[in-house]
Amino acid sequence: MSFVNTPAFDSYRLRLAAGKESCVERTEHYLTVIHQRSALNAFLSVFENEALEEAHRVDQKIKRGTAGPLAGMVVAVKDVLCMKGKRTTCASKMLEKYEAIYDATVIERLRAADAVIIGKTNMDEFAMGSSNENSAFGPVKHPLDETRVPGGSSGGSCVAVAAGMSTTALGSDTGGSIRQPAGLCGMFGLKPTYGRVSRYGLVAFASSFDQIGPFANSARDVAHVLQVIAGYDERDSTSANVPVPGYLGAMNRNVRGLKIGIPKEYFTDALNSEIRSAIEKQIHRLKSSGAEVVEVSLPHSEYTIATYYILATAEASSNLARYDGARYGYRAQGARDLSEMYTKSRSEGFGTEVKRRIMLGTYVLSAGYYDAYYRKAQKVRRLIQNDFLDAFKKADCLITPISPTTAFRLGEKLEDPLQMYLNDIYTVSANLAGIPGISVPAGKDHQGLPVGMQILGKHFDEETLLRVADFLEAA
Ligand code: GLN
């Protein structure tokens, strides 16, 4: 499905072990592509020298036979993850000059596994957006058509892999920011169960929704990365102390007897017919290989967008209160007193969408409206979660669309925030419920643009998602 020739990590690892290629050569190749395709604007920083030095160290380890499980993998990282001594901008003017003072847990784990980190990727400011047009450093472009969006907010990470600038990448997903760009670019992208991957060192957008996850060209490569980054971390109080299974072992290319649920509320007439028929084809494949397909209902689906945009903005307004120009971040010049310094710094440091979210969130949390909006939305969140728990009594996983359309044009939805929010209709529910979801390529539309499909699973059952994704990829 991928449009570039990035070898699957399994085969590439064999080439490395046999001395047919080196990690340095692979890293050099990616650096060349990053330069060649700089118009895509996927990276905010590239660690040219360090990545090559690191790759050299990895090659030595491979020769000595002491290399870790990700030796040879070159990873791009969304600029919302802290890397010690490196700029961590969240694509915001507010953090343009901020250098992280510690490594996120996922970064530590990638390094310990001998992955090479090649750079940090562009994104929607503070991960708010669905098109990657909200970056203070310009939009990311779709690798197949530069007049179109790649999706967001992890657009840079997705494009890094899709355009062959890295083997895999890390993104974050609060309401679809891994799955939606993966869908629009024909990639695999996994949002793990809430609590599966440590958020330590991830700059918070909406803390009860955020999860870190991988982008890759294949389900197996997703599994390789997840294997390394998943697992308990005492530095994140919401990290779950749940055993991490061997993900690659579960990918047996067999779906016989698996119960696949189709939520009827996700396949209404509103769904683009090309997307529907691409997904139906995949469902048919599963069925003819012995999976059982059952209809399920998620009756509160119509409330997911409203619930998400109340709760996520509420949490964002609270998380973003720390950027006040005093402790860190951008400070405006020329203020006459403290209050003016706060106001000017925040007005100048944040972009339009971030300000819109702070205002919405502050509003729904304010004394007069808390019960009507925030408290009500918390209750609906529970109902949405219960819908999934009920559906999973009948099915092992669910299949849904990822987004209502394929990649849209730059600027098309920028003037209409509600249209942009509605793009998230199929993805936010997984974050409201805390369940895992994966994007799988499902074909192309008549313009040759990728169509994605989403598989949703039970809490902590990433195994089934990877197994089905890998099956469809092989089929
Ligand atoms: N598009 C959604 C939003 O703007 C989701 C973003 C995300 O997952 N980070 O809130």
Task: Tell me the pLDDT of the chain (475 aa) as tens digits.
Answer: 344 556 789 988 999 999 999 999 999 999 999 999 999 999 999 999 999 999 999 999 999 999 999 999 999 999 999 999 999 999 999 999 999 999 999 999 999 999 999 999 999 999 999 999 999 999 999 999 999 999 999 999 999 999 999 999 999 999 999 999 999 999 999 999 999 999 999 999 999 999 999 999 999 999 999 999 999 999 999 999 999 999 999 898 899 999 999 999 999 887 899 999 999 999 999 999 999 999 999 999 999 999 999 999 999 999 999 999 998 789 999 999 999 999 999 999 999 999 999 999 999 999 999 999 999 999 999 999 999 999 999 999 999 999 999 999 999 999 999 999 999 999 999 999 999 999 999 999 999 999 999 999 999 999 999 999 999 999 8
- Three-state secondary structure string covering 192-207: CCCCCECCCCECCCCC
Q: Determine the atom of ligand 1 nearest the C-alpha atom of 424.
A: 1
Q: Ligand 1, residues 353, 424, 426, 439: which to mutate, most atoms within 8 A of Cβ?
A: 424
177 C-alpha to ligand 1 centroid (Å): 5
Which residue CA neighbors atom 10 of ligand 1 most closely?
Answer: 128
- What's the CA gap between 270 and 217, in Å, rounded? 29
Out of 131, 157, 173, 174, give the residue to mutate to test ligand 1, the one with the largest number of ligand atoms within 8 Å of its CB.
174
Nearest to 178 by CA among 389, 357, 352, 424: 424
Catalytic residue among 2, 78, 239, 429: 78
How many Cα atoms sit within 13 Å of 252 on the Cβ side?
Answer: 9
Residue 5: per-residue pLDDT = 55
What is the position in ligand 1's atom list of the atom closest to the CA of 152? 1
* Ligand 1 atom closest to Cα of residue 129: 4
Pocket test for ligand 1, best of 124, 408, 422 (most atoms within 8 A of CB): 124
Protein residue closest via CA to atom 4 of ligand 1: 129
Q: Residue 455 and residue 79: Cα distance in Å, rounded? A: 26
Instruction: Specify burial of residue 11 (Cβ count, 10 A radius: 0-12, 13-18, 19+).
Output: exposed
- What pLDDT, on the 0 to 100 scale, is given for residue 327? 83
Catalytic-residue membership of 78:
yes
**What domains does the chain contain, in order, with CATH numbers?**
9-250 (3.90.1300.10), 259-300+382-474 (no CATH), 305-372 (no CATH)
Alpha-carbon torsion (471, 428, 297, 443), positive or negative: negative
Ligand 1 centroid, distance to 67 Cα (angstroms) = 36
- Ligand 1 centre to CA of 165 (Å) is 24
347 among known catalytic residues: no
Looking at residue 75, what is its pLDDT?
98
What's the gap between Cα 2 and its chain centre? 18
**172 CA distance to ligand 1 middle (Å):** 9
The rounded distance, in Å, linking the Cα atoms of 343 and 366 is 19
- Known catalytic residue: 376? no
What's the chain's Rg over C-alpha atoms?
Answer: 21
Distance CA 240, CA 422 (A): 31
CA trace torsion 190, 193, 198, 199 (10° rounding)? 80
Using the mean position of ligand 1's atoms as its centre, give its distance from the Cα of residue 130 in Å.
6
SS (H, E, C) the chain: CCCCCCCCHHHHHHHHHCCCCCHHHHHHHHHHHHHHCHHHCCEEEECHHHHHHHHHHHHHHHHHCCCCCCCCCEEEEECCECCCCCECCCCCHHHCCCECCCCCHHHHHHHHCCCEEEEEECCCHHHCCCCCCCCCCCCCCCCCCCCECCCCCCHHHHHHHHCCCCCEEEEEECCCCCHHHHHHHCCEEEECCCCCECCCCECCCCCCCCEEEEEECCHHHHHHHHHHHECCCCCCCCCCCCCCCCCHHHCCCCCCCCEEEEEHHHCCCCCCHHHHHHHHHHHHHHHHCCCEEEEECCCCHHHHHHHHHHHHHHHHHHHHHHCCCCCCCCCCCCCCCHHHHHHHHHHHHCCHHHHHHHHHHHHHHCCCCHHHHHHHHHHHHHHHHHHHHHHHHHCCEEEEECCCCCCCECCCCCCCHHHHHHCCCCCHHHHHHCCCEEEEEEEECCCCCEEEEEEEECCCCHHHHHHHHHHHHHC
Residue 180 CA, ligand 1 centroid: distance in Å: 9
- Ligand 1 centre distance from Cα of residue 364 (Å): 18
- Our mutation pick for probing the ligand 1 site, out of 153, 199, 208, 319, counting the most ligand atoms within 8 A of Cβ, is 153
Burial category of 17 from C-beta neighbours within 10 Å (exposed 0-12, middle 13-18, buried 19 and up): middle
Pocket of ligand 1 (CB under 6 A): 127-130, 153, 173-177, 205, 312, 424
Query: Using CA atoms in the order 421, 392, 243, 201, what is the torsion angle rounded to 10 degrees?
Result: 10
Give Cβ neighbours of residue 290 (< 8 Å, ≥ 6 apart): 254, 255, 256, 257, 258
Query: What is the number of the ligand 1 atom nearest to the C-alpha of 308?
Result: 10
Ligand 1 atom nearest 206 alpha carbon: 9
Query: Residue whose CA is closest, atom 2 of ligand 1?
Result: 175
Q: CA angle, 220 as apex, 215 and 224 as ends, to 5°?
A: 75
What token pair was written down for 384?
């949405």
Q: Residue 187 C-alpha to ligand 1 middle, in angstroms? A: 18
Under a CB-based contact definition with an 8 Å cutoff, are residues 351 and 136 in contact? yes
* Alpha-carbon span 316 to 339, nearest angstrom: 21
Which member of 177, 198, 301, 439 is catalytic?
Answer: 177
Ligand 1 atom closest to 423 (CA): 1
Catalytic residue among 92, 131, 135, 153: 153
Ligand 1 pocket: which of 121, 122, 124, 128 to mutate (most atoms <8 Å of CB)? 128
What separation in angstroms does the CA of 328 have from each of 85, 332, 342, 345?
A: 15, 12, 12, 11
pLDDT of residue 470: 97
Name every residue whose Cβ is closer than 8 Å to that of residue 162 and which is 6 or more positions away in sequence: 2, 3, 4, 143, 150, 185, 186, 187
CA of 173 to the centre of ligand 1 (A): 7
